[in-house]
A = this chain, B = another copy of it.
Amino acid sequence: MRKFVVDMMGSDRGSSMTLEAVKTYHRLHPDDQLILVGRKEEFAEASSFAKLVNAPDVIEMEAGALEVIRRKESSMVVAVHTFQEEHADALISAGSTGAFLSAATLILKRIPGVLRPALVTGFPNLGRGNFVTLLDVGASNTNTAEEIQQFAYMGSLYAEGAYGIQKPIVKLLSNGSEEGKGSPVGKEAFALLKADSKVDFQGNIEASQIFAGSADVVVTDGYSGNVMLKSFEGMAKAMGKLMKQGFSKNFMTKLGYLFAKSGIDTIKDTMNPKKVGGAMLAGVNGLVVKAHGNSDTESFVSAMEVASRLVDAKMIEKMAAGFAKAEQQ
């Protein structure tokens, strides 16, 4: 039995979407305990299977990181406090990334030793039939070389814990695979990573090679990581749209779609970051998952599933133990 706290407000689609999502999740995992935070009257029907916590204020998508400090009545801030007080296993929100990250970091604090939290997500690794872990995909706007270096360790602990990869191969995102390529901060991080015995660092990687299998963990600053993630999303959507157009071209192609359906129907979703679901905010004291702001029911459920797998993998305990060990060295 897992215990979830869900911020019901703050997504682009409002509480009707999150209500559908928690109903679906409850059907799939009836034993899990759900605590839903927000304007109770909007999701009162969930009281039959979940605990409801009222929070009258909703933080807007455009809200900045500092705004949360004074929005104590907001569903997001109340959700973080509830998560802490209830000793819950996971906390999920689709609200403003900046606001959610600062609320979680301020209230829950960082794991000792962590310089800066990072948003972590996993993508299918087509080369190895496994997953590749990417971070930071957008918690920060700029990072120091030391922070990027630490993301490598954080990402390695994630890859081990979430995907069972022993001694994960770490690469650094760059604009060329050779040493000496990269942004100024990337070049600094390269030097630090080369000397870091805690991780298996194997050099630079270009974004075009991420899915090809040569790396288990790819680290970068939060700005570049966010550009990469959203570029993946844009191309996945564009190709999905083109596929749809291609199949609806004429009678023959429509027939072809019916025959090939079983093989191709899940492709778009497999590779779409929006559909893949949530990104964990690694480095804070607690399992905090950010769902896409524009989530639909399916992708919000997917974010909850990501959270449930990370709970089962004891990700926070492993992350904390890893940093405690590193601090002793």
On whether the beta carbons of A263 and B271 are closer than 8 Å, the reply is no
Could you say which residues of chain B place their CB within 8 Å of the CB of A263?
245-250, 253, 256
Q: How far is the CA of A222 from the CA of B181 in the complex (A)?
A: 13
Q: How far is the CA of A208 from the CA of B239 in the complex (A)?
A: 12
Q: How far is the CA of A238 from the CA of B240 in the complex (A)?
A: 13
On whether the beta carbons of B183 and A141 are closer than 8 Å, the reply is yes
- Contact residues, A263-291 vs B (CB, 8 A): 263-264, 267-268, 270-271
Known: A211-B238, A227-B173. A259 touches B253 (CB 8 A): yes
Copy number of this protein in the oligomer? 2
On whether the beta carbons of B62 and A242 are closer than 8 Å, the reply is no
Could you say which residues of chain B place their CB within 8 Å of the CB of A209?
234
Q: Which single member of B138, B235, B259 contacts A252 (CB below 8 Å)?
A: B259
On whether the beta carbons of A239 and B271 are closer than 8 Å, the reply is yes
On whether the beta carbons of B247 and A230 are closer than 8 Å, the reply is no
The yes or no answer to A237 lying at the interface (CB within 8 A) is yes
Could you say which residues of chain B place their CB within 8 Å of the CB of A232?
231, 234-235
On whether the beta carbons of B260 and A253 are closer than 8 Å, the reply is yes
Could you say which residues of chain B place their CB within 8 Å of the CB of A212?
234, 237
The interface on chain A, measured as residues whose beta carbon lies within 8 A of the other chain's beta carbons, has a size of: 62
Query: Whole-angstrom distance from the CB of A299 to the nearest CB of chain B?
Result: 13
On whether the beta carbons of A227 and B238 are closer than 8 Å, the reply is no
- Contact residues, A214-252 vs B (CB, 8 A): 222-224, 226-228, 230-239, 241-243, 245-250, 252
Return the chain B residue nearest A221 by Cβ. B183
On whether the beta carbons of B234 and A260 are closer than 8 Å, the reply is no
Q: Which single member of B180, B211, B258 contacts A234 (CB below 8 Å)?
A: B211
Known: A258-B256, A264-B247. A208 touches B230 (CB 8 A): yes
The yes or no answer to A126 lying at the interface (CB within 8 A) is yes
Q: Pick 10 A–B contacts, CB within 8 A, sort by A.
A: A141-B184, A175-B226, A207-B227, A236-B239, A239-B239, A247-B260, A247-B264, A248-B263, A249-B263, A259-B259
Known: A142-B183, A175-B230. 7 other contacts (CB 8 A): A126-B238, A126-B241, A208-B237, A210-B234, A227-B231, A239-B239, A255-B256
